[in-house]
Amino acid sequence: MKNKDVPNEALLLGADRSEMKDLIDFYLNMSTNEDKEDLYSMARRVRDSNDGPRVFLRGLIEFSSFCRNDCFYCGLSVRNRKAVRYRMTEQEIVQVIRNGYAMGFRSFVLQSGEDPYYLAGRLSELVFSIKSLFSDIALTLSVGVLNSEQYLQLYQAGADRFLLRHETADEEHFSKLHDANQHFSIRRKSLETMKRIGYQVGAGLMVGSPYQSVDTLTEDFLFLRELSPHMIGLGPFRPHINTRFAKFPYGSVDHTLVLTALCRIMLPNVMLPATTALASCDIQHRADAFRAGANVVMPCLTPQKYRDAYAIYDGKLSSSTEAAENVRFLINQIHDLGLSAEMSRGDHFDFRERKSD
Ligand code: 5AD
């Protein structure tokens, strides 16, 4: 299938619903990598000319595997009785940050299931003490859906960013992936509220999630364009054996790369991670994501003894080598592509005037 003109920012910003659907459909159905190379090289060019040929590292700490929700795709679902539950203590979390700081990290992501223990106020105390100890770091939270007061409290405690994937912008599709207490409208409202408060926000979705279609992806792109988040996480769906989606097929790596490139072109300054789900398919896919316009990566700093328990999906990338060695490997992988590896706060372009890069 050849050839549409490679889309540029104006085309993606101006597309109506049916044009957007047409574009997504066209690129998802291109058969070979050579066909897609024009798209990827455009995405790289957009990244490099806007923010330079560089990749930002953020240290990821998965601090609790407890969750009150039932997301049908996730191994941490409250309904999974076989899941191993752990919760790091405040002291353990601070120690991991101390070690990461010594390695050079100035950007950290605290991620967990929706764990009532931490959400009942302890998390904002923790955020406050971390920011008092390490005043020059950026702190990102990825802890689920909260109410406006909680988002505000965490922001005032010092959190800089918040990741909350919207998962799908199609209300009906959303209800096929989640328990009845969750709705897309709540995710959207949460993301809008966080933006208003002053967070740098991240949305995102799984590529190839059950019941996803070109129509639901079109809704995703229209939603992302309107929200214009600071970050978008895209990873392929990976079935987990103890979930009700155990028998669904894996999401496509190729589709993930195509959608990554389209996001880069549509929102030139957005932070786009090479996600763990992608790297879990094959560590080389991280490089493919950077070739398709990604500019962020979040190496796991979670202590070894907890890593296997944070099993969102099967076969999650988890290495027996210590964090420092993994980070060296990653930095080499980035350098091999002719990109620089940045350990600074790595704020989104719009936030750089206020805070140092
Ligand atoms: N496969 C891929 N990604 C998953 N996530 C959760 N479960 C899976 C899965 N089975 C993603 C969701 C969530 C993020 C933390 O991990 O998009 O928002």
135 CA to middle of ligand 1, Å? 31
Report pTM: 0.96
Q: Is the CB of 165 under 6 A from ligand 1?
A: yes
Name 1's Cβ contacts closer than 8 Å, sequence gap at least 6: 26, 29, 30, 31, 35
Return d(Cα 78, Cα 148) in angstroms, integer.
24
Which residues of the chain register pLDDT less than 70? 1-3, 320, 353-357
pLDDT score of 147: 96
What per-residue confidence (pLDDT) applies to 354?
A: 56
Strands (E), 34-193: 54-57, 59-64, 107-112, 138-142, 161-163
| Residue 233, strand partner residues | 204
Which domains does the chain possess? 9-344 (3.20.20.70)
Tell me the C-alpha distance between 178 and 201, whole Å. Answer: 22
With a 6 Å cutoff on the Cβ, whether 317 touches ligand 1 is: no
Check if 277 has its Cβ closer than 6 Å to any atom of ligand 1.
yes
> Locate tokens 């702190």: which residue?
139
Top mutation candidate among 72, 111, 140, 312 for ligand 1, by most atoms within 8 Å of CB:
312
293 in Cβ contact with 44 (< 8 Å): yes
- Of 298, 290, 317, 293, which Cα lies nearest the Cα of 138? 298
- Distances, alpha carbon 276 to alpha carbons 6, 89, 222, in Å: 28, 24, 25
Contact 292, 74 (CB under 8 A): no
303, 309 contact by CB (below 8 A): no
**Cβ of 310 below 6 Å from ligand 1:** no
The finding on whether 312 has its CB within 6 A of some atom of ligand 1 is yes
Residue 2: its pLDDT value, please? 52
Cα 212 to middle of ligand 1, angstroms: 14
Q: Is 74 in the pocket of ligand 1 (CB under 6 A)?
A: yes
**Rounded to the nearest whole angstrom, what is the distance from the C-alpha of residue 312 to the centroid of ligand 1?**
6
- pLDDT of 136: 97
CB proximity list for 298: less than 8 A, separation 6 or greater: 57, 58, 59, 60, 109, 273, 275, 276
